[in-house]
Homo-oligomer: A and B are copies of this chain.
Amino acid sequence: MIDKQIFLDLERLKRLGMVEAVWGENKSCEQIAQILRKIKAAKQLALVTRVNEKKALELLEIFDDAKYHYDSSCLTLGDALLVEPSLGEVLIVSGGTSDFRVASEVELSLRLHGIKSEMLLDVGVAGLHRLLTNLQVINKASVVIVCAGMEGSLPTVIAGLISQPIIGVPISIGYGVSRGGEAALNGMLASCAPGLLVVNIDNGYGAAMAALRILKSGIKNNF
């Protein structure tokens, strides 16, 4: 019954060129459905993050044109935006298989905004050769997004090797002092490598939107 008081930011698309992501974790199905109806009525693309399977099934019953993405636990309604292909490509690097959900959230968020990306998984620094043999792939990307839990040193090592923009996404997976992702977060912020940028723990969507800002800025800078 809170329907009429909700002020969705439907002009975000026009203002920022970004779809408003609905954070699904602490919202009830009913709350999400209300929001989706508003977005649909405005003929916009909807992205709901952190939707568990149970909630997703309920929402798919209500919205038969919605789609659930298991890998990223996201639900979408509507088609991806079209962006000119010249924007460049994003590479998503990850230190371990446990980072896969967040890495997938990055990939989906980019795809919805018309940005192509590739993934390079399980290249953690404990086995450095995996990273070094992939350096060429890394060097081709316009922006590199690195997901890492535990001590989070992967983005530091990569930032020392390449000159492109690089965004670290700390992952909450871990135990003991790395439980919750703070050791990884602080490791990335305290990094001795110059110019490493950081977003909140597990914030795949945020990293994707930052990459989008950077890629678009490339166009602007040259005209």
Bound CA–CA A124/B221 (angstroms): 27
Bound CA–CA A218/B175 (angstroms): 31
* Neighbour of A150 across the interface among B130, B192, B221, CB < 8 A: B192
Bound CA–CA A211/B121 (angstroms): 27
Closest to A201 in B: B176
Q: Which residues of B contact A120 (CB under 8 A)?
A: 5, 7
Q: Which residues of B contact A71 (CB under 8 A)?
A: 1-2
A157 B165 Cβ-Cβ under 8 A: no
Closest to A87 in B: B221
* Most chain B beta-carbon contacts within 10 A, residue among A184, A210, A216: A210
What distance in Å separates the Cβ of A207 from its nearest Cβ neighbour in chain B? 8
Q: With A192-B96, A222-B222 in contact, do A175 and B152 touch (Cβ < 8 Å)?
A: no
A190 B161 Cβ-Cβ under 8 A: no
A83 on the B face (CB < 8 A): no
Q: How large is the interface on A (under 10, 10 to 19, 20 to 34, 35 or more residues)?
A: 35 or more
A98 B212 Cβ-Cβ under 8 A: no
Interface residues of A in 139-162 (CB under 8 A from B): 142-143, 150-153, 156-157, 159-162
Interface residues of A in 205-222 (CB under 8 A from B): 205-206, 208-222
A98 B27 Cβ-Cβ under 8 A: yes
* Neighbour of A177 across the interface among B12, B20, B100, B190, CB < 8 A: B190
Q: With A213-B164, A219-B222 in contact, do A9 and B127 touch (Cβ < 8 Å)?
A: yes
Sorted nearest first, the 8 A-B pairs with minimum C-beta distance are A176-B201, A153-B153, A195-B209, A9-B127, A178-B190, A218-B218, A218-B221, A126-B160
Q: A7-B130, A176-B190, A177-B201 are in contact. List 4 more A-B contacts (CB 8 A).
A: A6-B121, A175-B202, A175-B203, A194-B209
